[in-house]
Amino acid sequence: MDFDFPGVVEEAIFRKRINRFVAIIEHNKELKKAHVLSTGRMKELLVPGAGVYVSYVGKEGRKTSYDLIAVVHKGILVSIDSTLPNRLLAKLLEGKKIKEFSSFTNVDAEVAWGKSRLDFYLSNEEEELYLEVKSVTLVEDGLALFPDAPSERAIKHLQELMEIKQRGKRAAVLFLVQRSDALIFSPNWKTAPDFASTLKQAEQAGVEIYAYSCQVNKEGVSLDRSIPVSIKSVYA
């Protein structure tokens, strides 16, 4: 297992989402509040009656005692923790377990670029690369899609990667699909056409684009395999 879920992981039933951060779950036949670890819409995942996995936290001062970490969807487990990809990638990059980046000897997280920050800065004696990581939970008939809602922040990150590339450095974005049923990745032209067109511009500008799927079980998440990337719209 590349990344273990923290705490004691238990099964529950999703009942409803109060807001972006809090959901009502049924656990041991009692209704309880759980913190949703992603602000994404996830309408196809968080449906009443869905099986979920929660981790008991129980910290003093918290309004919820559980974190909602994964959802059972069409027989597979989907991790929904939007902070997990960065933590998982940090571990994998340090261990040189991603072939595209295995030549880099130095890995720094949360590096400044202009007035914002990018996820990783990789370097060796010969070159340097800035890497942004995006969490993907939406898959339709084997097609992984990002984002599931319009995202100005994600567009800004792509624009920053293009600027880095224009300055002669390597720049890349990696889409980490937190489920095992993805066969190919594409930007979500239908829901977020502005992001999709910006990703197309980034590809044309020389920004490297990668996508990986994951294996998820009740213990945690492991990197599965590299999947193809298709930038063109499937709706054209």
Q: How many CA atoms lie within 13 A of 4 on its CB side?
A: 4
pLDDT at position 236: 55
The per-residue pLDDT for 7 is 87
Domain boundary at 49, 78, 107, which?
78
Q: Tell me 18's DSSP state.
A: S
Domain range spanning residue 167?
Answer: 84-226
Residue 1: its pLDDT value, please? 87
Q: What is the CATH number of the domain that holds 30?
A: 2.40.50.580
Same domain, 124 and 40: no
> Helix, strand, coil: what percent of the chain each, to 5?
20, 45, 40
Residue-wise pLDDT tens digits, 84-126 = 999 999 999 999 999 999 999 999 999 988 778 999 999 999 9
List the one residue out of 205, 209, 206 whose CA is nearest residue 227: 209
Question: Is residue 155 situated within a structural domain?
Answer: yes
Asked if residue 226 lies in contact with residue 185, where contact means CB atoms within 8 angstroms, the answer is no
User: Is the same domain home to 103 and 167?
Assistant: yes
User: Which of 6, 5, 17, 10 is closest to 59 using CA atoms?
Assistant: 6
Residues of the chain with pLDDT under 50: none
Q: Sign (positive/negative) of CA torsion 99, 227, 76, 32?
A: positive
What is the pLDDT, as a whole number, of residue 220? Answer: 96
Q: Of 131, 112, 136, 106, whose CA–CA distance to 120 is shortest?
A: 131
